[in-house]
Structure 1
Amino acid sequence: MSNKKIFILQLVMSIIIFLATIAFFTKIVSNFKSLYYYDIVNLDIEKSSGIDVSTIKTNYNYLIDFLNQSNPSDFILPTLDSSVNGKTHFFEVHRIFSNLNYFLYFSIIFIIISVIISIKNKIYLYLKVSGISLMVFPLILAPILMTGFTDYFDSFHKILFRNDFWLFDPSADPVILILPESFFMHCLILIVFLSMLFGFILYVIYRFLHRKSKFKNTLKYI
């Protein structure tokens, strides 16, 4: 394989690993119910929503299970009402999560094949680039977390959805009362932290392999 092709492959690998890492930890955090259970107390969701803890957990668990179903036929919360627009929105969220799964499947296959090629050619630049990118990622999101999460959160929804069904009316979709914005900010913080940690691990692996390679090259001339 030519140097140009190897460079392009390394660049594409870095991009795919960066995106796949964020997608992977988004899936992990979205299914990490313990974070939400903690926030029920931390954010005092029971008091702000007027819904008891048992009911909150029951409906939240249903919501997460719904997003993980392969082909749900309907969205019916156990004890909370849902409007037609509310149901449509959650089906749209389900579609996004499904597409995220397809992307992760593709990424895993692509990365495995690419890593084999990289090992064969003893080139590990992708580890350095993707590792540094993931470690720098928090600096990009810092303004969001420090200035105003609400505006960015709204803009995020406007980009992902072509309607305003995500603007819930609590009287028609009381589920919004148990999903405070602060919880999603905590999810984002955890996703960023885990991605940064993984980026650090990738960079450490790169440094190890790079030094090992330099050491072997030095021995050749002894």
Structure 2
Amino acid sequence: MRIKTFDLIGISAIFLLIISFAIMLTINFTPLYAWDIDYLSISERTGLSKAALLENYQVLLHYLNRPWVTALHLPDFPSSKSGLLHFYEVKRLFLFDYLIFAISSVISVFYVRFLKKTKCEWILIRPFGWGIAVPIVILFLMSAGFDRFFTQFHQLFFNNDAWLFDPAVDPVILALPETFFMHCFIFAFVLIEVLIIAVYFYSKKTAFRK
């Protein structure tokens, strides 16, 4: 089986493209939060209307998504220095994801074109066949205990405890319950699974046709 450094870079780029795209779509998929406002009774928890919650959520996304927006001022929620620090660190992760998406997109396009030109799409079959199992395993681990998964996720990506919001000084946490983040993770990993399966069957169909 021909797997060279060039192929490893190309295959890795496609995986990174899938992951970064799924993250990008999930963090900007406002309908999920709108649905959770009703499903998790967030209005009752915060004393704010659904319209007000969505307005605050859009302000937060505006800050997290745009590098030129340097200050976060939520209309209905005060923020502590610790809370603002955490949102700043989340912003950096958002922007890093967009950078990964841009770089992996370029590499993936050139690599897929190369595979088509050389009729070597079959190279994608095995790695993406194996890749199908990864999101399933992660979803299983999440279902076994999301609290632990959520904590370990923050310990991996953040080197402080600013993510441990105190509702007394950062009441925005009442509008962003842990269950909402669980739904975000589920949505992202299901999307990743669907995209990996799509690449697997595409490569398999193309290889067998040729």
Same fold (TM over 0.5): yes
Aligned match of 1:217: none
Which contiguous aligned blocks of 4+ residues in structure 1 show a shift greater than 6 angstroms? none
Answer with 1 or 2: which has the greater Rg: 1
Residue in structure 1 matched with residue 137 of structure 2 by the alignment:
140
* Structure 2 CA distance for partners of 1:120 and 1:70, relative to 1, 3 Å: same
Q: TM-score, normalised by structure 1?
A: 0.87
Residue 54 of structure 1 corresponds to which residue in structure 2?
51
Report the CA distance between 1:11 and its aligned residue. Answer: 2.7
Q: 1:96 aligns with which of 77, 93, 99?
A: 93
Displacement of 1:116 in angstroms is 2.3
Does the Cα contact within 8 Å between 1:30 and 1:187 map onto a contact in 2? yes
Q: Which residue pairs with 1:68 in the alignment? A: 65
Is 2:197 the partner of 1:200?
A: yes
Q: 1:21 to 1:106 in 2, by over 3 A?
A: same
1-structure distance, mates of 2:130, 2:10: 12
Structure 2 residue corresponding to 1:153, chosen from 139, 150, 153: 150
Q: Give the distance between the partners of 1:38 and 1:166, measured in 2 at CA.
A: 24
Contact 2:63 2:70 (8 Å CA) reproduced: no
Q: Please state how far the C-alpha of 1:51 moved relative to its aligned partner.
A: 3.0
Q: Contact 1:133–1:199 at 8 Å: present in 2 too?
A: no
**1:14 touches 1:129 (CA, 8 Å); kept in 2?**
no
Give yes or no for contact 1:11–1:126 (8 Å, CA) kept in 2: no
Higher mean displacement: 132-141 or 143-152 = 132-141
Q: Give the counterpart letter for 2:100 in structure 1.
A: F
Aligned partners of 1:51, 1:158: CA distance in 2, in Å?
31
Q: CA deviation at 1:121?
A: 1.9
Separation of aligned partners in 2, 1:75 and 1:83:
11
Structure-1 separation of matches of 2:89 and 2:142: 26
The C-alpha deviation readout for 1:20-53, integer Å capped at 9, x for no partner, is 2111111101101001000101111112333332
Unpaired runs of 5+ residues, structure 1, are 214-222
1:191 equivalenced with 2:181 (yes/no): no
Taking structure 2 as the reference length, the TM-score comes to: 0.92
Gaps of 5+ in 2: none
Matched, 1:19 2:13: no
What residue in structure 1 maps to residue 81 of structure 2? 84
Give how far 1:54 is off: 2.6
Q: Would you say how many aligned residue pairs link Structure 1 and Structure 2? A: 210
Distance in 1 separating the partners of 2:81 and 2:88: 11
CA shift, 1:72, in A, is 1.6
Looking at structure 2, the residues matched to 158 and 152 of structure 1 have their Cα atoms a distance apart, in angstroms, of 10
Is residue 9 of structure 1 aligned with residue 25 of structure 2? no
Give the secondary structure class of the aligned counterpart of 1:95.
helix
Letter in 2 for 1:44: S
How far off is 1:104 after superposition? Answer: 1.0
CA distance in 2 between partners of 1:185 and 1:130 (Å): 28
Please name the residue that 1:220 is paired with: none
